[in-house]
Amino acid sequence: MRIGVVGNGRYRALDGVLQQLVEYAVPRGHTLLSEDEIRVRWPTEVAPLPVDGADIDLLVSFGGDGTLLRAVRTLGTREIPVLPINLGHIGFLTSTKADALPSALDAFEQGTHRIERRQTLRGTILDADGSPRAAEQVVNDVVVHKAGAVRVIRLHMEIDGEEVGFYTADGMIVATPAGSTAYSLSAGGPVLVPGVDSVVVTAICPHTMRVRPIVVPASSTITLAVGGRKDEGAAVSFDGQLRHTITRPERVVIERGEFAVLLVRVGTDGFFTRMRQKLEWGDLSDRELAFRAD
């Protein structure tokens, strides 16, 4: 098996898990391939990870959710299973802990794992004449928001060619079900359960009481454009990691992504278990009683 590895070098635990992975993989004849950013952290020489994820059977991500989002981009459009190992605290998408790495790899080898298929979005920035000048795939969200000054911006939105209206807000979030538990949730959006084929559009701090999040089919095409002064601009963020800017009359077109992300899950914990554990979802009285009993 060929195992690609992406990691966040800011975690002190990274050296230990890389050592653990070497001790697991080498005796079994597996090939390890590493992104360049962490190759100096390995206890032994490893091959470089191909830029498009070619010829690997599994990609392991060591870090938090942000590292996972970056890891997915190394795959290009390839649907290769990704095992996210959490080295941080919350890690909602990266739910497997570092001490479970050997058992998680065993489960993948033996086929006893589960695959969570997560939809993606593709955001394309069109210039004044309608030509694409930038395009990115995202796992979580595309966000059009104010750039620089502390002020609201005015955005115009269409869905499937029909005008929805103008929004005066700090910005707009267009999120997948995976992204519905990230920035969109903080902005007041609903939680979309994995497997629900939909997208949520959430305004950030809208300057009105009459705006609510909208859930639309994943097949929808959402268009956002700056609707204020001619010289007014906005920033466009893709998964919070890649950023571009737009000005009138440019626009951002957001559609279903060309590929899905395949997350490897082991054990019996499901989505709502992670909601309770990671996001403290629901009534906390049962946990308070357990704490007092201790």
pLDDT of residue 274: 80
In the chain, the N- to C-terminal Cα span, in Å, equals: 45
The gap from C-alpha 167 to its chain's centroid, in whole angstroms, comes to: 25
- Residue 37 and residue 213: Cα distance in Å, rounded? 38
Dihedral sign for Cα 278, 279, 281, 286, please: positive
pLDDT in tens, the chain (294 residues): 999 999 999 998 999 999 999 999 999 999 999 999 999 999 999 999 987 778 899 999 999 999 999 999 999 889 999 999 999 777 778 878 899 999 999 999 999 999 999 999 999 999 999 999 999 999 999 999 987 767 789 999 999 999 999 999 999 999 999 999 999 999 999 999 988 999 999 999 998 888 999 999 999 999 999 986 655 789 999 999 999 999 888 999 999 999 999 999 987 778 888 888 777 788 766 655 555 555
Q: Are 186 and 170 within 8 A, CB to CB?
A: no
The candidate with the shortest Cα–Cα distance to 22, out of 84, 102, 80, 99, is: 102
- DSSP state letters, 192-205: PPTT--EEEEEEES
Identify how many contiguous H helices and E strands the chain contains and give both numbers.
Answer: 6, 20
CA-closest candidate to residue 56, choices 35, 42, 37: 35
| Helix or strand run (H / E) with residue 217 | strand 214-217
Helix (H) or strand (E) holding 150: none
Among 186, 192, 189, 253, residue whose Cα is nearest residue 217: 192
**Rg (alpha carbons) of the chain, rounded to whole number:** 21
**Chain-centre distance for alpha carbon 133:** 23
So which residues are the catalytic ones? 65
**Contact assessment for residue 21 and residue 77, using Cβ atoms and an 8 Å cutoff:** no
DSSP 182: T
Question: For the purposes of burial, counting CB atoms within 10 Å of the CB of 233, is it exposed (0-12), middle (13-18) or buried (19 or more)?
Answer: middle
> For the purposes of burial, counting CB atoms within 10 Å of the CB of 50, is it exposed (0-12), middle (13-18) or buried (19 or more)?
middle
